[in-house]
Structure 1
Amino acid sequence: MTATTPSVLLATFDLLPDGEPDGALLVEALAERGVEARWVCWDDPAVDWAVADLVAVRSTWDYHRRLPEFLAWARRVEAGTRLLNGSDVFAWNADKGYLIELADAVPVVPTALLADTELAPGLRDALGRWGTVVVKPRTGAGGVGLVVASRTDDPALAGLLAGPWIAQPLVESVRTAGESSVFVLEGEPVAQVDKVAAGEEVRVHPKYGGSSRAVALDPVRADVAREAVRSAAALRGGDLAYARVDLMQWEGQWSLSELELIEPGLYLDVVPDLAGSFADLLADLLARRAERG
Structure 2
Amino acid sequence: MRSSDFRLAIASSRQFPTVHPDDLHLVASLQRLGVQCTVCIWNDPQVDWTAFDAVLIRTIWDYFEHYAAFRDWLDTLDRLDVTTINDTDTLRWNSDKRYLLDLERQGVPGIPTEVAHGGRLQEILSSMPGREVVIKPTVSGGALHTVRGKVGAAQFQQAIERLPAKLDYLVQPFIPEIASSGEWSLIFFDNAYSHAVLKRPTEGDYRVQEQHGGSIMPVTPGGPIMEAASKALVAAAALGHRELAYARVDGVAPSGRFLLMELEVIEPSLYLADRPDAAERFAQRLVERLQRVVRKTRQLG
Report if TM-score (shorter chain) is over 0.5. Answer: yes
CA contact (8 A) 1:27 1:38 kept: no
Q: Mean Cα displacement is larger for which, 90-99 or 53-62?
A: 90-99
For 2:271, the equivalent position in structure 1 comes to 267
Deviation at 1:36, TM superposition (A): 1.4
Q: Deviations over 1:20-73 (max 9, x none)?
A: 333322210101222111211111222211121111110000000111111211
Query: Which segment is superposed worse, 69-78 or 262-271?
Result: 262-271
Q: Is the 8 A contact 1:213 1:270 kept in 2?
A: no
Q: Quick check: 78-87 or 109-118, which moved more?
A: 78-87
2:260 aligned to which of 256, 260, 280: 256
Instruction: Give the C-alpha shift of residue 291 in structure 1.
Output: 4.6
CA distance in 2, matches of 1:247, 1:3: 36
Decide whether the 8 Å contact of 1:21 with 1:268 is kept in 2.
Answer: no
1:190 aligns with 2:191: no
In the TM superposition, 1:1-293 aligns within 5 A as: 5-78=5-78, 79-104=80-105, 105-125=107-127, 127-128=128-129, 131-152=131-152, 153=154, 154=156, 155-162=158-165, 163-236=167-240, 238-250=242-254, 252-292=256-296, 293=299
Deviations 1:209-249 (A, max 9, x none): 11001223433222222211221122135422221110112
Gaps of at least 5 residues in structure 2 are: none
**Percent identical residues:** 32
Q: Could you tell me the TM-score, scaled by structure 2's length?
A: 0.89
The 1:59–1:151 alpha-carbon spacing in structure 2 relative to 1, beyond 3 Å, is same
Provide, for residues 157-206 of structure 1, a one-character-per-residue CA deviation record: whole Å limited to 9, x for no partner.
24424521001111111122200111111112211011111112111011
Which AA in structure 2 matches 1:98? Y
Contact 2:22 2:269 in 1 (8 A): no
RMSD: 2.2
Q: CA deviation digits over 1:60-95, x for unaligned, max 9?
A: 000001111112112222333211222222222121
Contact 2:188 2:247 in 1 (8 A): yes
Measure, in 2, the Cα distance between the counterparts of 1:238 and 1:3.
24
- SS of the residue corresponding to residue 182 of structure 1 reads strand
> Secondary structure in 1 aligned to 2:61?
coil
| Structure 1 contact 71–87 (Cα < 8 Å) conserved | no
Q: Contact between 1:21 and 1:267, CA under 8 Å: does it hold in 2?
A: no
How many residues align? The count is: 290
| Alpha-carbon contact 1:182-1:221 (below 8 Å) kept | no
Q: Does the C-alpha gap of structure 1 residues 137 and 9 become closer, same or farther in structure 2, counting only changes over 3 Å?
A: same
8 A contact 1:182–1:192 mirrored in 2: yes
User: Which consecutive residues of structure 1, in runs of 5 or more, have no partner in the other structure?
Assistant: none
Matched to 1:94, the amino acid is S
| Matches of 2:268 and 2:68, distance apart in 1 | 19
- The one-letter code sitting in structure 2 at the alignment partner of 1:95 is D
Larger displacement relative to structure 2 (267-276 or 242-251): 267-276
1:184/1:242 contact within 8 Å kept: yes
C-alpha contact 2:24 2:273 (8 A) present in aligned 1: no
- Structure 1 residues 159 and 244: alpha-carbon distance in aligned structure 2, compared to 1, 3 A threshold: farther
**SS of alignment partner, residue 22 of structure 1:** helix
CA shift in 2, pair 1:159/1:235, >3 Å: same
1:100–1:22 CA distance, 2 compared to 1 (3 A): closer
Contact 2:111 2:172 in 1 (8 A): yes
CA distance in 2, matches of 1:174, 1:4: 45
Distance 1:156 1:252, change over 3 A: farther
Preserved contact between residue 136 and residue 167 of structure 1 (Cα < 8 Å): yes
**Closer, same or farther in 2 for the Cα pair 1:51/1:216, shift >3 Å?**
same
Question: What is the distance in 2 between the residues matched to 1:206 and 1:13?
Answer: 18
In the TM superposition, residue 4 of structure 1 has moved relative to its aligned partner by 5.8
Give the TM-score taking structure 1 as reference length: 0.91
The worse-fitting range, judged by mean Cα deviation, of 259-268 and 71-80 is: 71-80
